[in-house]
């Protein structure tokens, strides 16, 4: 039953299986800093993922196999994540002196109070978050549960690529880990800052809000960079592969690209960010955020961060998960920098093996 969240000591590959691609990242320690050893991105067939779940295990496994063959990472142990929308989390209070085995037994005996599914259909785990402020003899424990199918399909896909799914994590907790690492580089923030991470993927945009460095809200919206790719296709009569490449190299497109294609997409993206944050404000006790970080493949689009900042009146930046890290000599550092915002989750998954 227990198989999520807790740290394993082995070096891990971060494998981010998103709605449109698979991303791989491998980190190692280089003295007191991290070093990026391998990375890569491999597109997925259009219907391989449905509603953030794997619908074609064979297609996803083959994409991972191609990615591993190209990136040639040293480790065969991997960490993957399930979407926050597929996971039920509860904060529990347990005695601080219990062993892991004792906590497992107590949680298992009480799990049906918190989980609305038959327990035999559920993957379940917990993470001790620390002592309670009001009583150090008790601790806060994060309970997480999702359907076994969500975990098992990811394990099967990795096995097809001859990888071992050593860890199955949860996306908001991966974001928490990355923001914890990046926190010193984010500038002056209040002690209990509220940070919004907006990950704009190919077809899904995910908002994760952290308050006091803990995830307090996550929400997914159907919107992503594929809309821009499709508009480039339509506007210039390009095939999909050429349109995707042109999106990454806008200097190759005609002069009307900026006013006719890019700017309308940027306006729509800003509307989506504002809508997601407004939902957060209306459903929580918070009425502001202190920082917005943009992630995902569309985050570096020219002008997007500036437009979001102007619309919200809140400092906005494009996230770089590799801040303070070195890059292995055989890798193209410039290409890695361009890909960085889309590798946030993959980096956080790999970081799990190198941080306590």
pLDDT bin (cut points 50, 70, 90) of residue 253 is: very high
CA angle 243, 249, 254 (to 5 degrees): 75
Assess whether pLDDT exceeds 90 at residue 355: no
Name the fold adopted by 13-227+262-351.
Nucleotidyltransferase; domain 5 (3.30.420)
For residue 2, pLDDT over 70 is answered with no
User: pLDDT tens digit string along 94-114?
Assistant: 888 888 889 888 888 888 887
Q: Give dist(CA 111, CA 180) in Å, integer.
A: 29
Identify any residues that bridge with 17 across adjacent strands, giving them in sequence order. Answer: 22
- 158 half-sphere exposure, CB direction, 13 A CA radius: 26
* pLDDT tens by residue, 142-167: 888 888 899 999 999 999 999 999 88
Instruction: Indicate the pTM of the whole model.
Output: 0.89
The residues spanned by each domain of the chain are: 13-227+262-351
The helix/strand count (H/E) of the chain reads as 11, 16
Both tokens of 107, joined, read 């949680």
Owner of token pair 């361009």: 338
Alpha helices by DSSP H, listed for the chain, are 57-71, 100-110, 148-160, 171-182, 226-236, 240-248, 257, 263-282, 304-312, 333-339, 344-351
Structure confidence at residue 60 as a pLDDT band (50, 70, 90): very high
Angle at 302 between CA 298 and CA 304, to 5 degrees: 65
Alpha carbons within 13 angstroms on the beta-carbon side of residue 326 total: 11
Torsional sign, CA 18, 12, 318, 84: positive
So what's the pLDDT on residue 97?
Answer: 86
| DSSP 8-state code for residue 298 | T
pLDDT tens by residue, 7-50: 544 578 999 999 999 999 999 987 778 999 999 999 999 889 99
């Amino acid at each position: 039953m227990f198989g999520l969240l807790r740290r394993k000591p082995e070096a891990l590959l971060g494998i981010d299986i998103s709605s449109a691609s698979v991303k791989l990242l491998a980190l190692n320690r280089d003295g007191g800093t991290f070093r990026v050893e391998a990375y890569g991105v491999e597109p997925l067939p259009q219907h391989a993922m449905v509603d953030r779940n794997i619908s074609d295990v064979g297609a996803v496994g083959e994409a991972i196999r191609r990615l591993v063959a190209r990136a040639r990472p040293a480790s065969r142990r991997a960490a993957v994540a399930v979407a926050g929308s597929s996971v039920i989390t509860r904060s529990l209070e347990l005695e601080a002196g219990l062993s892991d085995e004792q906590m497992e037994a107590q949680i298992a005996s009480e799990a049906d109070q918190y989980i609305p599914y038959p327990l035999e259909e559920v993957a379940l785990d917990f993470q001790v978050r620390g002592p309670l402020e009001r009583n150090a003899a008790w601790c806060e424990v994060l309970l997480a549960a999702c359907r076994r199918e969500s975990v098992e399909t990811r394990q099967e896909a990795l096995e097809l690529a001859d990888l071992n799914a050593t860890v199955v994590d949860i996306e908001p907790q991966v974001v928490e880990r990355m923001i914890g690492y990046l926190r010193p580089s984010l500038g002056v923030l209040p002690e209990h800052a509220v940070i919004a991470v907006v990950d704009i993927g190919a077809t899904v945009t995910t908002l994760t809000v952290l308050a006091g460095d803990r995830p307090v809200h996550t929400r997914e919206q159907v919107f992503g960079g594929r809309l821009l790719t499709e508009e480039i296709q339509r506007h210039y009569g390009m095939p999909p592969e050429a349109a995707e490449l042109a999106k990454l190299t806008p200097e190759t497109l005609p002069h009307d690209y900026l006013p006719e294609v890019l700017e309308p997409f940027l306006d729509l993206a800003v509307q989506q960010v504002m809508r997601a944050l407004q939902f957060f404000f209306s459903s929580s006790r918070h009425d502001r955020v202190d920082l917005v970080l943009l992630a995902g493949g569309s985050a570096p689009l020219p002008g997007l961060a500036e437009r979001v900042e102007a619309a919200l009146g809140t400092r906005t930046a494009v996230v770089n998960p590799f801040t303070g890290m070195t890059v292995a000599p055989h890798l193209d550092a410039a290409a890695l920098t361009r890909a960085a915002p889309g590798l946030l989750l993959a980096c956080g998954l790999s970081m799990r093996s190198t941080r306590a």
